[in-house]
A and B are shown apart, each in its own frame.
Chain A
Amino acid sequence: MGVSVPGEATTEGQPAPPIRSFVDAVRSAFAPVTGVLRSIEVDTRMLGMVAALIIIWVSFGLVSGGTFLTARNLWNLSVQSASIAIMATGMVLVIVSRNIDLSVGSMLGFLGYTMAMFQAVWIPQSLGLGLEQPFTWVVTLVLGIALGAAVGGIQGFVVAYGGVPSFIVTLGGLLIWRGLIFRYAQGQTIAPLDTTFQMLGGGTVGTRVGALGEWPSWILGVVICLVIAYTLIASRRRRRRYGFPVRPMWAEVLVGAVACGVVLGTVWVANSYPLPPNVAEQVAQERGIPVPPGGIPTGVAFPVVIMLIVTLIVTFLATRRRFGRYVYAIGGNPEAAALAGINVRRTIMLTFALMGSLAAISAAVQTARLDAAVTSLGVQNELDVISAAVIGGTSFAGGIGTVPGAILGAVVMQSLRSGMVLLLVDSPTQDIVVGIVLVVAVGLDTVVRRRVS
């Protein structure tokens, strides 16, 4: 009743509207595939996004004569995507709960500037401890994240307890935090930053490289694979114990194999990118070895490692904790959430606080990469972050969206930009293309979703 079944094509006697019949045609063509997908229980929308990403990569690869798909370019792509992806994970939760945060770019600028002040001015000069203390980077990062949570939390408080629409509060925030930077920075650039802190950006300072290196990267990959396998097995066991239906064994293995393949493939690509020759020479000298013929592998960049950790934490919060369940419930039906006894206001405030602390982490990555805090740090990042979340399947109607989807969305966006840079497309044209992709992606998704429900 009311649930559409594939194959139950159109209403009898009525000619199907063109867009519907097209969708039907695509559906029936893929009928065997969807059967397999059903038994794997994989989100088909996620799969659509992966397909889109592959198409983008292959097209750019062909047009650029292979340059796009080099390890060097993909490594850079991963680093460029990281800072947007980190914030997009939080933006998913904000949008899922029927809110929006327009202030993330300005918060990032403000927090980045403050963190730069910590390590370049306050700790070394005001406290008289000098530069390059071993603890500087940790203290800076922790205080930055705490400040981010406070700044985001204040906005969230006004939204949740003050009842002011989040669009307005964070639009105000966008102006306020940016204004504060200009007021106190007086146009100054804060530099240089602590060298250990700089590693968070994925760059190199002397012989220190902001990446894991070869073996730690492989170890990270294997650990992630083990976690994936454990999760699959544990969930299967749990369902078995309760006598619930489980998916067929081959589907389980396929899912695990594909996930591990992606992880190990990523590590392989990162390890295929050698350090620049001059850095490699110094590193080799330091280790007392000759530079290997293929160069010294760079490995997974720290911004990407940070992004992975953030993804893991936010996904855990979103899917395994009450907090996440409540965020989705509020997005689905705020009144029902309140009647169920959920503290709606507190939950909403917390999503904004989380968003603020993620903006701080991204601020650390971006300032570390630049080795400076500039007044324009994070300008227009809110647009990239919101686009990433929305391309990744987050719905403005609330209640729908996933963290991994947002990560994919960020990678899709950055792939488009990076590919166009490679093809020497000018920046206005890039904006036009990204804008069109955003609207088309959401439009297609809406059509498909309407069809499904």
Chain B
Amino acid sequence: MITPVTATPIAAPQRVPLVELRNIHVAFGGVRAVAGVTIDLYAGEVVGVVGGNGAGKTTLMRTLSGARPPDSGQILVNGQPVTIGNPRDAKALGVETIYQTLALADNLDAPANVFLGRELQATTTLDDAAMESATRKVIGRLNPNFKNFKTPVLRLSGGQRQAVAIARAIQFNARALIMDEPTAALGPAETAQVHSLIRQLKSEGIGIFLVSHDIHDVFDLSERISVMYHGRLVGTVNKNDVTTDEVLGMIILGKPPTKLTRQELAELHG
């Protein structure tokens, strides 16, 4: 049996975490998708959330974004316990999410998607011009070549659609950002754009949970890495204290680096 390591092995900073998930449980029917996971995120920090398929990364993040409230456990924002029952609650707390599926309404144009659920209004009618203007500004930051503000996002390329999804998350002064596989569908140039965006957002003091399959992305961008295995947290490690092999060991074998044997590490390399 694997014993979950809930305490982070690194010296915890004295500041209050921006977001804290404590002892989160989520079950689908009899399947325990997330079982007692505790992780936290500080302002201006990127925490990589990694694990194999079905490790529970996305489910854990969905409890924070309000898409699937946890069955039990506590969520704290700035040290205050909060209840996130739906996506609106999360957004009101400054927690924005970029879903792996992007969650775009394909039949609507970019401004409508960016402001979906939070439309700007001129008295009681939609202010499309104001929304388009703001969208031009925010997407211009991400992709200066973006021109199609009036076409349904269905007709945009993968990178442009990604830009719309990211624009939606950063338009509203997010404090914490959840990025679920933000570069999975992108080419090298677009991936580089997203990387530089993440660094920029980090420097603006936004905390980011970066969910990814790509261990190199995670090493590139994050300060700390939380590894999940079969719904449990294997551990959270400081990037500078570990090697990619050790993290791979955590992902594949579900054991923290201290418990990995030399032999197991060797076996990882076949």
Contacts and interface: CB of A to CB of B under 8 A. Distances in A.
Interface of A: 1-3, 238-239, 241-242, 244, 316, 319-322, 325, 328-329, 331-333, 335-342, 399-400, 453
Contacts of A1: 157
B155 A3 contact: yes
21 contacts: A242-B129, A242-B133, A244-B129, A244-B133, A320-B126, A329-B108, A332-B105, A332-B107, A332-B108, A333-B105, A335-B101, A336-B116, A337-B116, A339-B65, A339-B103, A340-B117, A340-B118, A341-B117, A342-B117, A399-B106, A453-B154
B223 interface: no
Given A2-B155, A341-B117, A453-B155, A332 B106 contact: yes
Nearest to B126: A320
Given A328-B107, A338-B87, 17 more contacts: A2-B155, A2-B157, A3-B155, A242-B133, A320-B126, A321-B124, A328-B105, A332-B106, A333-B104, A333-B106, A336-B102, A336-B105, A337-B117, A339-B67, A340-B103, A341-B87, A400-B107
Interface residues of B, number: 33
B112 interface: yes
A333 B103 contact: yes
Interface string B96-128: 010101111111100010001111010011100
B132 A244 contact: yes
Nearest to B127: A238
A331 B107 contact: yes
Main DSSP-derived SS at the A contact region = helix
Interface in B126-142: 126, 129-130, 132-133
B215 to A, nearest CB: 28
Interface of B: 65, 67, 86-88, 91, 97, 99, 101-108, 112, 116-119, 121, 124-126, 129-130, 132-133, 154-157
Nearest to B165: A336
A133 to B, nearest CB: 35
Contacts of A400: 107
A238 B121 CA distance: 14
B66 to A, nearest CB: 8
Contacts of A332: 105-108
Contacts of A399: 105-107
A96 to B, nearest CB: 9
A393 to B, nearest CB: 13
B112 A329 contact: yes
B87 A337 contact: no
A332 B102 CA distance: 13
A335 to B, nearest CB: 7
Nearest to A96: B107
Nearest to A41: B150
A214 B104 CA distance: 50
B59 to A, nearest CB: 14
Contacts of B91: 341
Contacts of B156: 3
Contact of A325 (B97, B112, B124, B155): B112
Nearest to B151: A3
A329 B87 contact: no
Contacts of B118: 340-341
A337 B101 CA distance: 13
Question: For B88, B107, B156, B157, which residue has the most chain A Cβ atoms within 10 angstroms?
Answer: B107
